[in-house]
Amino acid sequence: MAKTKLISPHGSDELKVLLLEGKERDAELKRAEGLPKIVMTTRETGDLIMLGIGGFTPLEGFMGKADWKGVCQDMKLSNGVFWPIPVTLSHDKKLDAGAEVCLVSGETNEIMGTMKVTESYQIDKDFECKHVFGTTETEHPGVQKVMAQKDWNLAGPVKVLSESYFPKEFKGIYQRPAESRKIFEEKGWKTIAALQLRNPMHRSHEYLAKIAVEVSDGIYIHQLVGKLKPGDIPADVRVKCIDTLVENYFDKERVVQGGYPLDMRYAGPREGLLHAVFRQNFGCTHMIIGRDHAGVGNYYGPFDAQEIFHNLWDGALECKMLPIDWTFWCYKCGGMASMKTCPHAKEDRLFLSGTALRKALSEGGEVPAEFSRTEVLAILREYYAGLKDDEKVEVKLHGHATGDAKVDKKK
């Protein structure tokens, strides 16, 4: 099949790749060993890797104060380019402009990159949380991470030296944007829909994916392989589940799988926008946005993420939303359906969610056959059976997981 021209990266004609390789990397790594060390959180490390591979095009490093404030308040960088969530690096003290530092993973102690500091600044953490998460409540896992940041943010361009353990641990899944784009081009795809995953695929995810395949050339099942909150299912188990589902229930010529190294921020609508930004960089033309995208608890309405896309200004983002309504298994319809297609009552429906599935499995409860494919449930049951008591986390249901949430959706 002839190659096709894909969507341009966000805010740029080409990917902004900051990852050094070969002799250039070797020389910078040697130099880095003599620089003052900044120890990064897993979130900051994931952000740095995305900067390195071009996933955060057009960014060239960690944000300065003008960019941070513009992103929080107006979802715009200081140059006017759309960006929905701050990408920042915190430190316990101010550094002079011009200082050079070595960036080290706090998880692995590996040298990840270098940065030339252009600015040190302090932020109003409540201001960031209010705008980005819509709350300052510390029960929110994203708010917790911002509040745990150190007193100063350091800004400046970066040189990235490593992708950490992701290429090896998630071989065949972890991808750079240049790699996914090459696959899409070789397949001749023009329209590609991205499916964001942080849970194993249950029947609703499968249904969303197949709707997307019907209206596009193919689907990019793109899962997070960075850190989640306690109680979420780890990435290696998730990968195994998704592999099994794709192998048995999808036309493999219409599916590409990938993984990316970010932590979840659980920022709901704002994170949905960030997901679309970097999916555009990976070559996708559309982003599937369903119920409670990137949400947590009851902090966001089930379709707030769709509303924020509808309210974007013209030209903000080329990657378009593919909005899909609340989906469920309907016993009277005899299959998967949505609020737009099913005329039956709530008692005829089985609402599907990753939260409900995790709760049932973690408590050893029954899981209806309609909830997930048999092969996937077998993998998940094996994982939960192997957990020790101190590894188990109570999973709390919220209205979006049960169908009880108030739906306030503009048509």
Which of the residues are catalytic?
Answer: 198-199
Tokens standing for residue 298: 């009851």
Alpha carbon distance 196, 182 (integer Å): 20
HEC sequence for the chain: CCCCCCCCCCCCCCCCCCECCHHHHHHHHHHHCCCCEEEECHHHHHHHHHHHHCCCCCCCEECCHHHHHHHHHHCECCCCCECCCCCCEEECCCCCCCCEEEEEECCCCCEEEEEECCEEECCCHHHHHHHHCCCCCCCCHHHHHHHCCCCEEEEEEEEECCCCCHHHHCCCCECCHHHHHHHHHHHCCCCEEEEEECCCCCHHHHHHHHHHHHHCCEEEEEEECCCCCCCCCCHHHHHHHHHHHHHHHCCHHHEEEEEECCCCCCCCHHHHHHHHHHHHHCCCCEEEECCCCCCCCCCCCCCHHHHHHHCCCCCCCCCEEEECCCEEEECCCCEEEECCCCCCCHHHEEECCHHHHHHHHHCCCCCCCCCCCHHHHHHHHHHHHCCCHHHCCCCCCCHHHHCCCCCCCCC
